[in-house]
Structure 1
Amino acid sequence: MGREQQLAEALVGLADTLADDIDPVVLVERLAGSCVGLTGADAAGVMVVSARGDLRPLAVTEDQAAFLEFFQLQADEGPCVDAFREGRRIDVPDLEDSHDRWPQVAPYAVRQGYRSVHGLPLRVHRQTVGAVNLLLRRPGGLPGTDLKVAQALADVTAFALVNWSAERLRPSDVSNRVQGALAAKAAVDMATGMLAESGDLSMAEARAALRRYADRYHRRLVDAAHSVVRRALPAADILTFAREK
């Protein structure tokens, strides 16, 4: 499959969520996965702003990237944090040269195996609602064409996340939808933990089973998660999908 077709399919997949039944968790996971699949990035992470004004992780493609996302938040520094605060792309061709700018995060990122990073703002109209991290295990960073693709994907995702339209967009609309995405992520995480404990599974196995159940019965992932948390959906009904590939 050519890159143009891959990009078209990724954009269609993101745009498909422009509906009242948007599943924000799946939407942002698609963004992270598409950024890795369509650029030379080795990993990607997405953070969005909470009601308190700080960033919260919403999606990540690998464990090392998740650790780095949390470390940036704890240290209150890093490319992703700066991209959000400044509302612009932050390019770091070599993290070895960035110890002065980010004295805690840059060395930690290198220890995690990353040598270059790009922070992209996640924005809707004139509001920055989060940021995307593109991480590479080699120095040099990504070419401009790949960064344009990633920013386009991020812009489409942010648009879908708030179900934006020019006639009704207000700052509170954007904030409420982003907070809804964080709440959905929390529900999915809680349901995954409950399933992992019930079925003696890893978190990844439990999450995969939950997703397979949602796909099989054409339910939003977040709705299935809420049913598990409320115990309206027996864990056993989902754990049967843990054995599927």
Structure 2
Amino acid sequence: MYDHKLYVQTLSDFIRTLVRPYDVDSLLNDLALRIADVLHLSGAGVSLEQEGKLRMVTVIPSHLAALEKYQENHQDGPSVEAFRDSRVSLIPDVEYTRNRWPEYVELARASGTSSIAVLPLALDERAFGTLSLYADRRDWPEDDVAAASLMADMATGYLINASTHHQQNELNDQLSHALESRVVIEQAKGIIAESRGLSVSQAFELIRRHARSHNVKVRDLSEAIVDMGLRI
């Protein structure tokens, strides 16, 4: 069962964000973090469409990146299928899909993931990307899926809002920027994790808190860590 109090607070935070300037990559990072907390998941990831293909933007925690990267490289798997069909995919046990995606199932098992759900970021029949949910064991109860679907719909609204206000070419630039941000943020997480003796997830939370408290973007702070030797 999802954390209702945290869920309401999360929705309130996202609604307030909509009326302020925002960048897509930071918002999608927040989405993955918040939904993992709300639904008590082992992790979550977001991928977006770019030139007709699904590309990973963010995944929390980082060891689940192999699942998203496999699908990006092969353009196959539950996220790609949910994106192409613009429908929710619920997988209580990845073993059910072994005949279809044997390599993907092995990666899921290696990461400690038994259950996966994928929700398209879509409006009508147009899909912009996917929100992937990862858990050790989960039957994906209806209430959890409904809560996750609303958050996915909100994220889709942000993407459409960006398109409406900045034109389609500027949205494409933002999506490309989000994909590029993944690299520098991952590098910064590794640097801080090593320097502070933290896990990668703890390092990212430290970066995220520091960015918020100093009113800077996560990417800008990550670039300072990687390129300028900043330590926090």
TM bin, normalised by shorter chain, reads: 0.7 to 0.9
Matched, 1:217 2:214: yes
- The answer to whether the 8 Å contact 1:117/1:141 transfers is no
d(CA) in 1 for partners of 2:92 and 2:204? 34
TM-score of the two chains, using structure 1 as the length reference: 0.76
The 3 A distance-change label for structure 1 pair 161 and 66 is: same
Question: Identity over aligned residues, as a percent?
Answer: 24
- Alignment partners' CA distance in 2, 1:95 and 1:34: 24
- Do the aligned partners of residues 178 and 136 (structure 1) sit closer, same or farther apart at CA in structure 2, a change above 3 Å counting? farther
For this pair of structures, how many residues does the alignment match? 228
Contact 1:96 1:110 in 2 (8 A): no
For 1:8, the equivalent position in structure 2 comes to 8
Instruction: State the Cα distance separating 1:26 from its structure 2 match.
Output: 2.3
AA partner of residue 156 (structure 1): M
Establish whether residue 177 from structure 1 lines up as the match of residue 151 from structure 2.
no
How far the C-alpha of 1:79 sits from its partner, in A, is 1.0
Structure 2 residue aligned with 1:119: 118
Matches within 5 A, 1:18-33: 18-19=18-19, 21-33=21-33
Return structure 1 stretches of 4+ with deviation > 3 angstroms: 191-213, 222-226
Worse-superposed segment, 184-193 or 39-48: 184-193
Deviates more, 1:141-150 or 1:176-185: 176-185
Partner Cα distance (2:90, 2:208) in 1: 34
CA contact (8 A) 1:117 1:133 kept: yes
| 1:123-160 residue CA offsets vs partner (Å, 9 max, x unmatched) | 2454211011111212x531011011011111101212
**CA RMSD in angstroms, aligned pairs only:** 3.3
User: In the alignment, what sits opposite 2:94?
Assistant: 95
Closer, same or farther: CA 100–7 of 1 in aligned 2, 3 Å = same
Match of 1:49 in 2: 49
Provide the C-alpha distance between the structure 1 equivalents of 2:64 and 2:194, rounded to a whole number of angstroms: 25
Could you report, residue by residue, the CA deviation over 1:99-144 in whole angstroms, capped at 9, with x for unpaired residues?
Answer: 1222331233223222221111012454211011111212x53101
1:105 maps to what in 2? 104
User: Which structure features the higher share of helix residues?
Assistant: 2
- Three-state SS of the structure 2 residue aligned to 1:100 is coil
Q: Structure 2 unaligned segments of length 5 or more: list them.
A: none
Quote the offset at 1:94 in angstroms.
1.6
Q: State how far apart, in whole Å, the 2-side matches of 1:61 and 1:198 are.
A: 16
Shift of 1:66: 1.0
Matched position secondary structure for 1:141:
coil
Shift of 1:45: 0.9
Match of 2:142 in 1: 144
- Measure, in 2, the Cα distance between the counterparts of 1:198 and 1:164: 32
**CA displacement at 1:36 relative to structure 2:** 1.5
Per the normalisation by structure 2, the TM-score is 0.80
What amino acid is the match of 1:218?
N
Cα distance change of structure 1 residues 181 and 113 upon mapping to structure 2, 3 Å threshold: same
Cα gap change, 1:212 to 1:164, in 2 (>3 Å): closer
Give the counterpart letter for 1:16 in structure 2. R
Note the C-alpha offset of 1:206: 6.9
Q: Aligned pair in 2 of structure 1 residues 215, 72: CA closer, same or farther (>3 Å)?
A: same
Per the alignment, in what secondary structure is the counterpart of residue 12 of structure 2? helix
Are 1:68 and 1:108, in contact at CA under 8 Å, matched by a contact in 2? yes
